[in-house]
Amino acid sequence: MGEREIIIADTDAKFRRRMADFFKDEGFQVGTAASADEVLARVMENRVAVLLLGSSFGDRISTTELIHLLKKCNRHLHIIMVSEALSLSQARQVRQEGIFYHALKPASSADTGELWQAVACAFEKHRTSVLADPHGPQRNQAGPGPKTRLPVKLMSCLLVATLMGASYYLLAAPSAASHGNWAMLLFLGFFALIVVGQLLPIFRIKLPARLLAGRKAPENSPRGGK
């Protein structure tokens, strides 16, 4: 999904086409939906940021219920409701469901200033909310986190353990080979593998714990002889 993707959902085909042309000219990626089923499918398929939603999609589902489902599908979705004036009770209901803004339906393409400002603010809010959410989709794409340093630590521990085991093996191997004791040589090789397997968890878990304890010791020690 592009950062400037928007969906226009309305039963009025003329309005959908006019708004789609306007936002395409402004550099947005635009998708359209003509029914409640279609807009739900589009929101579930694409992690879209902003939705322009009409006020009526038939008798099967109310606008309030549709907004509730849309927010369940994508909690980062910013819904801008585009309709005629709502009653106080309707406005209260849709705001309780979490719409971002309610804009009056523009009469023409030239009358889109309010809607344009609402869309711009919605995209800015979307970027802020996704960056602040540790489980947000963009957080996973932002770059390597602390877990990516774990393979480096493992490789370092493996290198140290391998060098220690290999050194012990090479020092003992000539003596064992000179006496023809190949069984002892195999035993030493097997022992080196055991050493590697045992040192990995020690270096990975216990060593950082000791370092951490060493750092905390000066902080907990009494100062000035008190």
- Rounded mean pLDDT, 136-153: 44
- pLDDT for 68: 94
- Residue 204 pLDDT class (50, 70, 90 cuts): very low
- pLDDT for 189: 63
- pLDDT for 155: 53
Burial of 33 (0-12, 13-18, 19+ CB in 10 A): buried
* CATH no. for 5-141: 3.40.50.2300
pLDDT at 70 over 80: yes
pTM of the model: 0.56
- pLDDT for 164: 63
Give the separation between CA 216 and CA 203, rounded to whole angstroms.
19
Contacts of 71 (CB under 8 A, 6+ apart): 77, 79, 97, 98
pLDDT at 30 over 80: yes
Q: What percent of the chain has pLDDT over 90?
A: 32
- pLDDT for 141: 39
- Residue 132 pLDDT class (50, 70, 90 cuts): low
pLDDT at 134 over 60: no
Residues of the chain with CATH 3.40.50.2300: 5-141
The phi, psi pair for 66, rounded to 5°, reads -65, -45
pLDDT at 173 over 80: no
Tokens for 26, please give them.
């402004």
- Residue 109 pLDDT class (50, 70, 90 cuts): confident
- Rounded mean pLDDT, 189-199: 59
pLDDT at 196 over 70: no
Buried/exposed code over 144-162 (b: 16+ C-beta within 10 A; e: otherwise): eeeeeeeeeeeeebeeebe
Give the separation between CA 143 and CA 30, rounded to whole angstroms.
28
- pLDDT for 46: 78
Give the separation between CA 224 and CA 226, rounded to whole angstroms.
6
Q: What percent of the chain has pLDDT over 70?
A: 56
pLDDT at 13 over 70: yes
